[in-house]
């Protein structure tokens, strides 16, 4: 029997901007990787690419699920989805200049481990582990932060936070 299944085209999602309260919510684990989750992931990739990002967490597009996508390659070569991610090892710490799609035009230096091992589910619901370093490790940690209700802003010193608040106020005017 031939069924014509309608494939929904990928669509851009709206990015939530600080101080949207959803950015502070701890996201719920995904209990089953469904077609709905896979569609969300595809839409997240499209949204991330269209906005010039290298990572995007589900709560940044209004969905409180423990999911993030990232691609640090500028070519789609490192395109990866992480469902229920957790860091299981980390080492070395350095400062990296970070930005965030939920803080448009804002950048700040954040201290993070430069090498991590992460465990997550892929889009097929299979567990995988991956060693990441440098920008890949920083990006993954930044996005995992989103899934637990933290932003890079939460990692900053009081002085840095004050400077960011001033920049945000200027951008809103």
Mapping DSSP onto H, E and C, the string for 63-111 reads CCECEEEECCCCCCCCCEEEEEEEEEEEEEEEEEEEEECCEEEEEEEEE
Supply the pLDDT for residue 80. 96
Kindly list the catalytic residues.
143
Tell me what the mean pLDDT of segment 91-113 comes to. Answer: 94
Whole-number Å distance between alpha carbons of 98 and 26: 21
The answer to whether the predicted template modeling score (pTM) of the entire model surpasses 0.85 is yes
- Of the pLDDT bands very low, low, confident and very high (cuts 50, 70, 90), residue 3 is very low
Supply the pLDDT for residue 5. 45
- Of the pLDDT bands very low, low, confident and very high (cuts 50, 70, 90), residue 172 is confident
Contact between 63 and 147 (Cβ < 8 Å): no
Ordered structural domains, the chain, with CATH: 21-172 (3.90.45.10)
pLDDT at 146 over 70: yes
Whole-number Å distance between alpha carbons of 94 and 89: 16
- Of the pLDDT bands very low, low, confident and very high (cuts 50, 70, 90), residue 10 is confident
- Of the pLDDT bands very low, low, confident and very high (cuts 50, 70, 90), residue 169 is confident
Whole-number Å distance between alpha carbons of 103 and 16: 9
pLDDT at 75 over 90: no
Tell me what the mean pLDDT of segment 62-89 comes to. Answer: 93
Task: Dump the DSSP string for 121-158.
Answer: E-TTS-EEEEEEETHHHHHHHHHHHHHTT--GGGGS-H
Contact between 76 and 28 (Cβ < 8 Å): no
pLDDT at 26 over 50: yes
Contact between 73 and 33 (Cβ < 8 Å): no
């Amino acid at each position: 029997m031939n069924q014509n299944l309608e494939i929904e085209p990928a669509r851009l999602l709206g990015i939530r901007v600080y101080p949207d309260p959803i950015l502070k919510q701890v996201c719920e684990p995904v209990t089953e990787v469904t077609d709905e989750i896979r569609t969300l992931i595809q839409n997240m990739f499209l949204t991330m690419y269209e906005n010039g990002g290298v990572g995007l967490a589900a709560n940044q597009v209004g969905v409180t699920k423990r999911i993030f996508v990232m691609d640090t390659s500028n070519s789609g070569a490192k395109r990866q989805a992480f469902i229920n991610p957790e860091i299981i090892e980390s080492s070395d710490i350095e400062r990296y200049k970070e930005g965030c799609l939920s803080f448009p035009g804002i950048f700040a230096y954040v201290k993070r481990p430069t090498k991590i091992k992460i465990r997550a589910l892929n889009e097929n619901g299979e567990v995988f582990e991956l060693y990441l370093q440098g920008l890949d490790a920083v990006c993954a940690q930044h996005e995992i932060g989103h899934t637990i209700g933290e932003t890079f802003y939460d990692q900053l010193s009081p002085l840095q936070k004050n400077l960011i608040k001033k920049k945000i106020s200027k951008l809103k005017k």
